[in-house]
Amino acid sequence: MRYLRKLIPTFLWQWDQRLLQDWPRIWATRVHLHLWFLLLCNALAVVLGLLIHVSHRKFPNPEELYAYMMVPTIAYAAFWVYRAVRFNAEKRFGARKAYSEVGEFVVLWISSLLIMTIPTTLALTVGLRIAALTTDEEFVDEVDQLGGQLGWFYRGSSYYDPYYDSDYGYAGDDDVQEIEVALRTVQAEVDAMRPKPAERVAQGAGSHRFFRSLQEYRTRTESEDRVLHDLHDEYSSWIQRGNNALDTNDSIGYDPDTAAYYFAKADSVERACPLLLVEFDDLRPWSEKLRFKPDSVLEQEYLVRFTQGEPMHAEPIERALAIANKYSKRARLIGAAQVADEFERRVPSTTNIDACVQQLSRIAKAKDLRYFFVKEPGYFTFIAIFSFSLALLLVAFKRIYWQPFLIAIVTGAVVPIIVLIAALILEHDVIPLSEERIMIYAHWLIAVFLFAMLFSIGSLRAYRTNRAVMVLLANVIVPFFAVFTLFILHEEFDVFGEDALSYTIESISVSNVEDPRLPALHEQATVLRAFINRMMLGTLWGGIALYVLALHPLFTRLYARLMALPERS
């Protein structure tokens, strides 16, 4: 603590004293020191983020950094809670002012919200550095160039990647040479022991498919099952039967003539059908911001070149390999000639071009991080409500004895389980409702009961632990009660008419799918859904606002009264 004190500047100590003497409630939240230390923590996070090594080929995952930083953040939050509950105006029966109580609550809410800046700052700093590795234009161009050449690479899982170990993943640069040599040696020994294989290998080693025509290729998405499986199974079947007929161990089945027949059939498939399957998806990193060429455009460009018999150009192939190698050391620069050879031989590419996929998608994600605050309203809603709940619990803890607080926590955890068990026992047989409905109604009724019990606090002559527990539970529930009620009204009683509208649409669709009223009804359903979402969100935030401004001081008074009442024994 002494070391921490040294980090606090003089002016802050002056503010500290002034707050203490003029605004004791705000002082008790320690918001001034909290903001200062948050500033230091965030500055430290920025420095750390700047020190972390970031390159095209290697950088940490910002999301993982965020997760790691949650550990010190939770530790800081615990420390903050410890500091924030130390000084308490209510437990010393200090003067009460409603606006001051509201101010205290808002300060605690914002304080807990700001704690989340610690993990965000580090992740964001690193993310922004990753995003800045390449300009948006350059990145989009590189991805498009890479994608545009993919048609010349037969990619697939059957290619043996010497860099990859199933247990340990990809080896580092230093390990590669050694592993390759060892593998070659082992392979040579195995080959020497094995009799010369007479088996024929399917072209492309399963990494590609045969199509009867370009038209068939273009329509593969809709008719994939029929086309691909039929022809490919047929082709594989010829190869397999031919290999079986050449099996010298099978004295009955061995028949080289029959094998030649089967292989001829396979040859006919290979000769007659173009060997094509271009999947660009793997190399299309998802991004809301970056405008890559869509798959359809890339395919069209490739098909144009393929159908026109345009030869493979070395330069774009080399460039694509260079781009892949820029983002992954595992992408091999084998040269355009070898790529052409592998394409002609219809074998999987040994360029390992897919190795850069993960890196590209992480960079695209990092570029999206710049729009994180706009892109993820759900995340911020969650954080805001989480910190609101934390502030609510903290304030409640400050204003009542710890014993009812703990009982309330346990009760809050146990009651839903009891309700669930009761619902499972009673559903349908005793109560003509499903288990979900029983649970929803039971929780709503419990909440109403707790609210009703609040009215008895005014007439109490002595402190009662059970009433304190009820006040605590009611306090936690009340900000969300309105939205919960609206949810029940919507789901169970269809107050917005969404179910009725859906039923109407369904009825019309069943009788006539082409009914001219359907588009308008669908549009109406969309608008209604948006309206319901707005209403739900508005009710949620309205409930929270009402709590902060009006109900929080009310609950504070209830706590204060309970704390001031004499004990019974």
Q: From start to end of 24-174, where are the E strands?
A: 164-165, 169-170
Cα separation, 25 vs 3, in Å, equals 26
Positions in 280-339 near another protein (CB under 8 A): none
Let me know the angle formed at the C-alpha of 28 by 122 and 75, rounded to the nearest 5 degrees: 35
Q: Could you say which of 36, 46, 94, 370 contacts another protein (CB under 8 A)? A: 94
One-letter amino acid for residue 424 of the chain: L
With respect to another protein, which residue has the nearer C-beta, 87 or 496?
87
Q: Using the rule CB under 8 A, is 105 a contact of another protein?
A: no
**Which residue, 174 or 567, is less far from another protein as judged by CB?**
567
Residue 236 and residue 228: Cα distance in Å, rounded?
Answer: 12
Question: In this structure, are residues 41 and 118 in contact, taking their beta carbons and an 8 Å threshold?
Answer: yes
Max alpha carbon distance in the chain (Å)?
A: 106
| Least distance in angstroms from the C-beta of 471 to another protein | 14
CB-wise, 58 or 86, nearer to another protein?
86
Whole-angstrom distance, CA of residue 476 vs CA of residue 480: 8
User: Counting contacts by CB under 8 A, is residue 448 touching another protein?
Assistant: no
How many residues bind another protein (CB under 8 A)? The answer is 29
CA distances from 319 to 315, 324, 334, 336, 448 (A): 6, 9, 12, 9, 69
Structure tokens given for 476:
């936690």
DSSP string, 363-430: HHHHHHHTTHHHH-HHHHHHHHHHHHHHHHHHHHHHHS-HHHHHHHHHHHHHHHHHHHHHHHHHBTTT
According to CB under 8 A, which one of 92, 194, 196, 271 is a site residue for another protein?
92
Is residue 548 within 8 A of residue 102, CB to CB? The reply is yes
* Cβ atoms of residues 467 and 453 within 8 Å: yes
Angle at 387 between CA 381 and CA 393, to 5 degrees: 135
Mention every residue, 6+ apart, whose C-beta is less than 8 A from residue 355: 170, 324, 328, 330, 331
The answer to whether 560 contacts another protein (rule: CB under 8 A) is yes
- Residue whose CB is less far from another protein, 339 or 562: 562
Say if residue 14 is exposed, middle or buried (CB neighbours under 10 Å; 0-12, 13-18, 19+): exposed
Helix (H) or strand (E) holding 564: helix 552-564
From 313-321, 346-354, 417-425, 559-567, give the range in contact with another protein by CB under 8 A: 559-567
Rounded to a whole number of angstroms, the minimum distance from the CB of residue 441 to another protein is 37
Minimal distance, residue 466 CB to another protein, in Å: 16
Q: Is 373 a binder of another protein (CB under 8 A)? A: no
Would you say 406 or 460 has its CB closer to another protein? 460
Which CB, 17 or 507, lies closer to another protein? 17
495 binds another protein (CB under 8 A): no
Asked if 29 contacts 101 with a C-beta cutoff of 8 angstroms, the reply is no
Which CB sits closer to another protein, 108 or 339?
Answer: 108
Q: Are the beta carbons of 485 and 493 closer than 8 angstroms? A: no
Tell me how far, at minimum, the Cβ of 567 lies from another protein, in Å.
6
Q: Which is nearer to another protein, 264 or 462 (CB)?
A: 462
Residues 8-27 that bind another protein (CB under 8 A): 17, 20-25, 27
CB of 458 to another protein, least distance (A): 11
Stretch that binds another protein, among 42-50, 64-72, 520-528, 553-561 (CB under 8 A): 553-561
Please pick, from the candidates 93, 286, 382, 503, the single residue that binds another protein as defined by CB under 8 A.
Answer: 93
- 431 secondary structure, DSSP code: B
Give the integer Cα–Cα distance in Å for 308 and 496. Answer: 58
- Residue 200: C-alpha distances to residues 267, 275, 555 (Å): 11, 18, 81
The answer to the question of residue 545 lying near another protein (CB under 8 A) is no
Looking at the Cβ atoms of 16 and 247, the one nearer to another protein is 16
Two tokens, residue 360: 């590209």
Rounded least distance, CB 558 to another protein, Å: 10
Residue 92 CB, shortest distance to another protein, in Å, is 6
Give the nearer residue to another protein in terms of CB position, either 459 or 511: 459
- Buried (b) or exposed (e) across 215-226, using 16+ Cβ within 10 A? ebbeebeeeeee
Q: How far is CA 337 from CA 342, 344, 352, in A?
A: 9, 11, 16
Q: Quick check: 167 binds another protein (CB under 8 A)?
A: no
Compute the least distance from the CB of residue 561 to another protein, in Å.
6
Dump the DSSP string for 161-172. Answer: -TTEETTTEEPP
Binding status of residue 4 toward another protein by CB under 8 A: no
Q: Which parts of 450-469 interact with another protein (CB under 8 A)?
A: 461-462
Q: Is 37 in the site for another protein (CB under 8 A)?
A: no
Site string for another protein, 498-537 (x = CB under 8 A): ----------------------------------------
Q: Under rule CB under 8 A, which residues in 62-91 are in contact with another protein?
A: 86-87, 89
C-beta closer to another protein: residue 56 or 557: 557
Residue 114 or 565: the one with the smaller Cβ distance to another protein is 565
Binder of another protein out of 28, 65, 419, 423 (CB under 8 A):
28
Measured from the CB atom, the residue of 196 and 568 that comes closer to another protein is: 568
Binding site for another protein (CB under 8 A): 17, 20-25, 27-28, 86-87, 89, 92-96, 461-462, 557, 560-561, 563-569
